[in-house]
């Protein structure tokens, strides 16, 4: 609901800033620079944030940094696990993103090597949750229900895993449809729906594809560190399976705590701080918002 979100952003801006300053026990005048998401995201929401950031930067006479939201998700991990190695792979999974990124320095080079061709992983969770009459957002309730079920009970399709499919791209639309069909078939046959098994088998399919592709990309590109971030990173099966497979493959797995995985301001501040340390120039105060900003553009000028 873009319009509702933008309204909430406007109302929340000043109180949120006040709370953040209080919690951190700092004054606005202590701030060195102002980092803000310039994209990607919803146009109306981006505009509220960027407009406020410009005003703060002008009023405080501090540098403005318009940064990439996706790079922010990767930077979030540095708050938990310290600096990233020279090269690492990042798997971003949330309601809005499903991407595999090759990160060769947060301030230097981020390359998207794969992404979803249809739904984001989190969207698939939301749609399946609706199908199973579970609350929104779908991730946590499916995860909880899945723990009582058998992930091997139903074999749902693994999208884009054929020999000729794009190696690092994802597709979750077919999976969602397959779950819907399976449930409908059971209903038509008058059978009970084993909700826990459906949830577990769906979750297994998502975690299997995401981790298999991420680990494969690490091996192919000779990268020994995988970062998983975004709202879906908190999913227990995804992190569990990733831990297993990374251990097997000798890959170091880094998953920031859930509060840092979901969208948050600290990740944008972390990226801003990293850019400042790397000697980044400030963004101009006539900075535009870019709803479709590619991940390769870490800072916008």
Partner 1 sequence: MADAVPLSVVLVLAVDTATPAVTAGVVDLTPGSPPRLLAERVTVNAKAHGELLTPHVQEALARAGKRLADLDAVVCGSGPGPFTGLRVGLVTAAALGQALNRPVYPVPTPDAIALDARTGKPLLVATDARRREVYWAAYDAAGRRTDGPHVDRPADLAAKLPAVASAAGEGAEIYAEVLGLPVVEARYPSPVSLVAAAAEELLAGARPAALTPLYLRRPDAVEPVGRKRVTKG
Instruction: Name the residues that contact partner 1, by CB under 8 A.
Output: 1-4, 6-7, 9-10, 13-14, 17-18, 28, 43-44, 47-48, 50-60, 130-133, 136, 183, 187, 192-195, 285-289
Q: Which residues of 170-193 are buried (b: 16+ CB within 10 A; e: fewer)?
A: bbbbbbbebbeebbeeeeeeeeee
286 assigned ligand-binding residue: no
At 104, is the secondary structure helix, strand, or coil? Answer: strand
Name, in order, each residue with C-beta under 8 angstroms of 88's C-beta and a sequence gap of 6 or more.
Answer: 103, 223, 225, 226, 227, 254
Name, in order, each residue with C-beta under 8 angstroms of 15's C-beta and a sequence gap of 6 or more.
Answer: none
77 assigned ligand-binding residue: no
Tokens coding 281:
């120039």
- Residue 263 interacts with which of Zn ion, partner 1, none, CB < 5 to 8 Å by class: Zn ion
Q: Phi/psi at 89 (nearest 5 deg)?
A: -110, 140
Binds Zn ion by CB under 5 A, chosen from 263, 265, 273, 288: 263
Span from 80-88, 142-150, 255-263, 293-301 in contact with Zn ion (CB under 5 A):
255-263
- Residue 7 interacts with which of partner 1, Zn ion, none, CB < 5 to 8 Å by class: partner 1
Q: Is the dihedral of CA 211, 232, 136, 47 positive or negative?
A: negative
C-beta of 14 vs 278, nearer to partner 1: 14
- Give, to the nearest 10 degrees, the angle between helix 139-146 and helix 195-221: 110
**Residues 173 to 192 in contact with Zn ion, rule: CB under 5 A:** none
C-beta of 68 vs 239, nearer to Zn ion: 68
96 assigned ligand-binding residue: yes
- Residue 243 interacts with which of Zn ion, partner 1, none, CB < 5 to 8 Å by class: none
169 assigned ligand-binding residue: no
How many CA atoms, within 13 angstroms, populate the side-chain half-sphere of residue 229?
28
C-beta of 39 vs 282, nearer to Zn ion: 39
Place of tokens 């975690």: 207
143 assigned ligand-binding residue: yes
235 assigned ligand-binding residue: yes
C-beta of 148 vs 155, nearer to partner 1: 148
Residue numbers belonging to the annotated binding site: 69, 73, 92-96, 126, 139, 143, 235, 263
Residue numbers belonging to the annotated binding site for Fe cation: 69, 73, 263
Residue numbers belonging to the annotated binding site for substrate: 92-96, 126, 139, 143, 235
């Amino acid at each position: 609901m873009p319009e509702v979100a933008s309204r909430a952003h406007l109302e929340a801006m000043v109180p949120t800033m006040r709370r953040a300053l209080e919690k951190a026990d700092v004054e606005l005048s202590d701030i060195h620079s102002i980092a803000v998401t310039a994209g990607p995201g919803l146009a109306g929401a981006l505009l509220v944030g960027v407009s406020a950031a410009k005003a703060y930067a002008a009023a405080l006479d501090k540098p403005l940094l318009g940064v990439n939201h996706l790079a922010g998700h990767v930077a979030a991990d540095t708050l938990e696990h310290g600096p990233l190695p020279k090269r690492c792979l990042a798997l971003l999974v949330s309601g809005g993103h499903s991407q595999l990124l090759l990160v060769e320095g947060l301030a230097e080079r981020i390359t998207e090597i794969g992404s979803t061709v249809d739904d984001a992983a989190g969207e698939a969770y939301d749609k399946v949750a609706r199908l199973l009459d579970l609350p929104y957002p779908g991730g946590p309730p499916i995860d909880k229900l899945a723990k009582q079920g058998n992930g091997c009970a139903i074999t749902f399709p693994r999208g884009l895993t054929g020999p000729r499919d794009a190696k690092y791209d994802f597709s979750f639309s077919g999976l969602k449809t397959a779950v819907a069909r399976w449930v409908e078939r059971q209903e038509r046959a008058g059978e009970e729906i084993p909700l826990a098994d459906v949830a577990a088998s769906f979750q297994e399919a998502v975690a299997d594809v995401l981790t298999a592709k991420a680990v494969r990309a690490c091996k192919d590109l000779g990268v020994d560190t995988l970062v998983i971030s975004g709202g879906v990173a908190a999913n227990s099966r995804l992190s569990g399976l990733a831990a297993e497979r990374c251990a097997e493959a000798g890959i170091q797995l880094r998953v920031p705590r859930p509060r840092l995985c979901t969208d948050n301001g600290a990740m944008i501040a972390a990226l801003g701080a990293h850019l400042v340390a790397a000697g980044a120039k400030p963004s101009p105060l006539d900075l535009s918002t870019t709803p479709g900003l590619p991940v390769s553009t870490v800072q916008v000028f």
